[in-house]
Amino acid sequence: MHRDLCFAPAVELARRLARGELSSLELTTAYLARIEAQNVGLGAFVAVLGERALAQARAADRSLAAGRCLGALHGLPIAIKDLFDFLPGVPNTFGSRVFEGFVPDQTATYVRRLEDAGAVVLGKTNTPEFGHKGVTDNLLFGPTSTPFDLTRNAGGSSGGSAAAVADGLCALAQGSDAGGSIRIPAAHCGVVGFKPSWGRVAAAYRPDGFLHTPALHAGPITRTVADAALMASVMCGPDARDPLCLPDDGLDWAGACALPVDGLVLAFSPDLGGFPVDAAVSDCVARAVSALGDAGLEVRELSPDLGASHHELTELWLREMAVLYAAMAANMKRDGVDLLGAHRDALCPEFVELLERGEALSAVEAKRDDVLRTRVFDGFQDVFGQADVLACPTVAVPPFPNAADGSTLGPSEVAGQPTERSIGWCLTHPVNFSGHPAISVPAGLTPDGLPVGLAIVGRRHDDGRVLAVAAALERVRPWLGNLPGLR
């Protein structure tokens, strides 16, 4: 009974809670029991807030009994990433030994919205140090594994959230995405990861309110497309303290999942214009795209011209992240935490290298990269002049083995071509240069039983159509309960 509850769609659980057929306390207790049973070996949660969650669940039940519904997530147990997704009074480590004892006194905008809508927070989930790579592993907590094979990595940087959702440890989970960090682990864990259009989820970062570049997004990781729409409906919306967020356009998030897709043109790019892709991944993705043709879409093979090789695009992303992290480190140093000074030896070597690279880049060099970003943006826009959505593999390889020392990285080679190991084996980061909405949904399993993700990218601010196409695939090839291999 408890296992059925833990894997049920969040929209179904929300309906049962609203009708009084299920209590939040019962549901929260079931998830906490499953976390206790499954988290060892999986490594999804790094902090479990048991007493806090049970208190929230009891309060949710009392409110409902008094006729007061707090919102769309009333009583639903969720997980929050251990990065910049603060809860006041709750330890937040950024996946770093430097911040092992850090307790913030503020709340992230979107986390506050989730709690205000009635969500029960079960705990914080694992991430690589400061979320700097597409793998979830760190020197503080170790790796997070995909539930399909505990020797292999969940992907990152929201790997803890994706593994928790996939293994039935929460109803919904929050992730963040600067280069694929929602979509990569969704692909490697067989779940749904949605990156809304840039600006839909307000951030209100401080002290740098203009940190909210098109690279940075927050969004849901869920088991179904409808669940992603439910969570997005709460997370999205403007905030007066975010100078770059979008106004509310009135999108009907739940209704978008039922929109017709007959006649829509889908541009299928098997390699996003030049990324090497593993043959087993290519086969899975091709079958999923064929199913979208069966669902009524017109499929055309069409790749964007992104104006650079996959190596150049990955280098562009590394430079952009290096600048952001160097700016973050400068703010921390001003506040008394010198990452590259007193704390250098506590950091993983790849993150030190990224910080040093950012410090060495001049403002002119960083600004010059906007020319290549513009070519990437134009490449996507050209495709959307001919098609309604674009589909491609989310990640070029199936999940790969964890390292033993907290330093897991991706493959150095894909399909016989050398690749950068932190994120070069992903087809996700170009969309972070452009701000387009994108979702990763399960495309199937490799012959070895490992999950593969299909990415669906839409026109700017056309999030509803992205959800509609993803939901259409889910209707013709339902994955919930149909992906063998979960424990």
pLDDT digits (tens, 9 = 90+) for 343-363: 999 999 999 999 999 999 999
Domain boundaries, the chain: 2-252+303-378+401-412
pLDDT greater at residue 25 or residue 481: 25
Which pLDDT belongs to residue 487? 60
Does the pLDDT at position 41 exceed 80? yes
- At 266, is the secondary structure helix, strand, or coil? strand
CA distance 407 to 405: 6
Q: How is residue 44 written in tokens? A: 């999804």
How confident is the model at residue 42, as a pLDDT? Answer: 98
Residue 440, beta-bridge partner list: 193, 455
Can you name the CATH fold of 2-252+303-378+401-412? Amidase signature (AS) enzymes (3.90.1300)
Question: Rounded to whole angstroms, how far apart are CA atoms 66 and 301?
Answer: 56
Q: Say whether pLDDT at 417 is over 60.
A: yes
pLDDT digits (tens, 9 = 90+) for 97-112: 999 999 999 888 999 9
Taking residues 58-83, what's their average pLDDT? 98
In the predicted model, is pLDDT for residue 471 greater than 60? yes
Say if residue 486's pLDDT is above 80.
no
Residues labelled as active-site residues:
81, 157, 181
CA 246 to chain centre: 20
- For every residue of 131-189, DSSP letters joined together read G-SSS---TTT---EETTEEEEE--SSSHHHHHHHHTTS-SEEEEEESSSTTHHHHHHH
- 82 CB burial (10 A radius; 0-12, 13-18, 19+): buried
Q: What pLDDT was estimated at residue 80?
A: 98
Is residue 205 scored above 80 in pLDDT?
no
- Tens digits of residue pLDDT in 210-232: 776 767 889 999 999 999 999 99
pLDDT of residue 64: 97
- The 10s digit of each residue's pLDDT in 333-345 is 999 999 999 999 9
Q: pLDDT at residue 1 above 60?
A: no
